[in-house]
Structure 1
Amino acid sequence: MEISDNKILYTNYLKTKKSDSTIPLEVFKIDTSKIVENKNEIETSQIIENTNKTVNNYQPIEVTNYIYENRKRGTDKNALVSYWFRNNAPVDWEISKHLEVGSRGYEWCYQMENATFENVYEDAKEFEEFVAKWIEKGYSEAEALERASFYAVAGVLDYGKQKAYPIPNLDYDDKKEHGFHLIDNPPLKKAFLETLDSLDLNSVSLLVFDMFPSGQNEVSSSFQELLNQYGVKLEDLKKQNSSEEESKFTFTGNININEQMSLDYQNFIFDTLIGFFKDKINSLDKYMADNPQNPVEQLNTLKSAYDILIENFKKNTKEYNETKNILNQYLK
């Protein structure tokens, strides 16, 4: 607001003042009749009042399940989520300040630093529901997000453009060109999901990163390369044991199945995959035997995870065959 001065009072004082007189207090009082309203200032005042009201009612609350609880309670959708990032990943937060612009890590950190409660799970409804499910089971949000990131690495959980947690070895914005996105084998995918759901967080990470290891080729082709290597190994074994009865099928490394394949060939793929997983366990046993000085706890944990996967896969292939046989009988 603009306040007018008391010119008349001051002028009269100058005309009548004595040398030792003092200025009357009235000169300094605001003449309310002369107040001129400033429209812009009133609008600003209203904005401040409205903002304070929003902050008082909808400011993010600091809780363990920070994103989950704040989205449930309707926290201001434009509020930044970065508090969670700073407090739950302080090392990553500091590293983000020194990452090369345009790099994968920089993009993830940029998105997480600028995420709001409205877009933190952008195009990632399945991812958000997964996190909520595990929180409701009693896990913390940090544990649920980390588990979700491992499922996403394996390609069994779409992560869209979520900005709540970085997905290891993968770019921001899910292109669905990795892991099980490249594998069309329903019994295997179902068995893999059942296995992950039954494992603790450490076991999940060990199994996922052993099947889909990172490296120059990233997770998009790593599992396929392991299968190709296993295929070569099988062919070498055939040559070394030429006297044994030869299989009527040859494993090419392709584990996808479809309706055009015979059930016999599909079962050949299933049996080959079981052999592949058993071979992984044997490799771990050999490594531990050759390196007795190394800790074995994590390796034994990984072996147990593969054992569970094998049993789940056997169960699912049995159910798959039963369904196919019933269908074939019906179609005859």
Structure 2
Amino acid sequence: MTQHGHPTIADVARRAGVSKGLVSFALNGRSGVAPDTRERILSAAAELGWSPSLRARSLSVGRAFACGLVIGRSPDVIAADPFFPSFIAGVEDEFSVSGQVLVLAAATPGRQEAETYRGLAADKRVDGVILSDLRTGDERIALIGELGLAAVTLGVPDVDSPFTSISVDDGAGIRLAVDHLADLGHTDIAHAAGPFSMLHGRHREAAFEEAAAARRIRSRVVETDFSAADGARATEQLLDAATPPTAIVYSNDNMAIAGLGVAQRRGLDVPRDLSITGFDDTEIGRHLHPAITSVSTDARGWGAAAARALLEAIAGAPPDAIDLPDPRLVVRASTGAPRA
């Protein structure tokens, strides 16, 4: 063993009675090793507690054994949005057992973001990337293709894409929220929407308008940047209207929680004076008073599915379109019948 007590390939070779080259072949899953010899080598490695050197593996097979997630939002918004920690936890659930490392970066959409992808590819720091927050005519699709990186997209792009997509029907969750409020008797409902430049923000806004029209409900929409501060601003704007809505459908829980605070500071009773729904069903929203009715999408499961799909893409699997289960509405105390 080395002076630090860590077993090496040479130690495994001595224990198994074979050459170091044969050990390398067996441990990397390459052909040319008899089944009984491979088993003897693997048993010797397990007995010694041998684990692979990521650097050595990278050099031997020409891979980084790392994947990138570049989030094109303000670091403040990322830090406050519970979706990303849950999503990343799901990615790590898969990567932790596959020897993969997640490289995380926040970058301003546009030139800085493109340079971040180019740097990751030029330095061979990642084998593939997860593309989040898809945008209208997303230029990153072509860029990642030119850089020769494997990729998966969270959602289906509105441009031609050679990559696997992992999708949740955001619109289904918004429709559930609108139908729930309509069933309670609401006829004037507003939507605090995400950025229209992001496809999922636009999809949720379109689903809201369609659901409201189907239920013959008066609707209005305020665009936000998904942050709690902008959710509070949108709430103030809606409540300052000559005829305020009796319910607001928020595009994430962060904004719904901010909206709850705005309403309570104004002396409004939630849900008698204003019903509120969120999106993502975050843990903190379940413990407020009143607890937030929210659309649940399983961000952690989405992260795990994206990680699995990316590893398959890196291994050469053809692109696919993977649809995850539709979200569900978790009804809690923040929604009720409007005041007569």
User: Do these two structures clear the TM 0.5 threshold for a shared fold by scoring above it?
Assistant: no
TM-score (norm 2): 0.22
Of structures 1 and 2, the larger Rg is shown by 1
Higher relative contact order (CA 8 A, sep 6+): 2
Larger strand percent = 2
Larger helix percent = 1
TM-score (norm 1): 0.22
